[in-house]
Structure 1
Amino acid sequence: MWWVIKFLHRAADLTLVPSAALAKELEAASVTAGNKIRLWNKGVDSESFHPKYRSQEMRIRLSNGEPARPLIVHVGRLGVKKSLDLLKSVMDQIPEARIAFIGDGPYREVLEKLFSGMPAVFTGMLGDEELSQAYASGDVFVMPSESETLGHIMSFSKNRE
């Protein structure tokens, strides 16, 4: 596999990596020349996703009416590859916590059955200010996937086509 990785990266003008650790690993493995590796940091829209959007109403909605309880929030596509089933064992270990799944996808029905009888809320897709409120109103954000390439969570405005 390293041969394929080296072949592809040596043919490229530039290799962008999400962390300094990965840049060092690629350089140490002689995947490509160090001067052809650049760090590309992830970013957050700090205007749209800001603590000012914390909302007691949203917290009540996401915690199923128990806003004083710890609130875990997941935002993203509900798919098998996201390893969201792992969160059931987390919830088993923290019975006082509540969890909200924000998003939709082909694994939603399975997750709803898996979390049946547990303090879990499935909102479906949220956008714009509702999404900002959801992020700001939780205590912990989780993304348990072990296979995400860059781990980007995309948010879309309801007004975009």
Structure 2
Amino acid sequence: MDPQTPLLWALRDAANLTGTKYGCGTGDCGACTVLVDGAAQRSCQTSLAEAEGRFVTTIEGLSHDRSHPVQQALVAEQAIQCGFCTPGIALAAAALLAHNSDPSTDEIKAAIPNLCRCGVYPRLVRAIQRAGRAARGLEVLPTVPVPGWAPGTVPAIRTE
């Protein structure tokens, strides 16, 4: 691929990591947020040349079993509606909490300016604060079901 290709295109189209979303293409909406060396970055505005040799984390790499405190807190606070913006928000929140496990509401809003069509902003702030408490050992979050179907959990289908 051309070194000036946006990282987003390489992640989705070449690596088939589709959790990172196409959004505005201008870096404003945050749907394409990934972690680059642990910092939240808009992948639509980051070229492959800029990402070369750096550690890129997509939502698929945050936690394979959805056990990251941010993921658990987003579910617990029902801060996930359509899910389109969720991967970018989860990664931006993880980056924030890695440096500040007790952020204020203003710090959360500054670190996570992502757009959400469903308007879950108050729940989002509460979820990130809960994830911070969990990271500090002050709260235990409910576990989140792992992706996919586990053997024996698929309901029987009757054809009668």
**Structure (1 or 2) with the greater strand fraction:** 1
For the aligned pair, the TM-score class normalised by the smaller chain equals under 0.3
Taking structure 2 as the reference length, what is the TM-score of the superposition? 0.22
Normalized against structure 1, the TM-score is what?
0.22
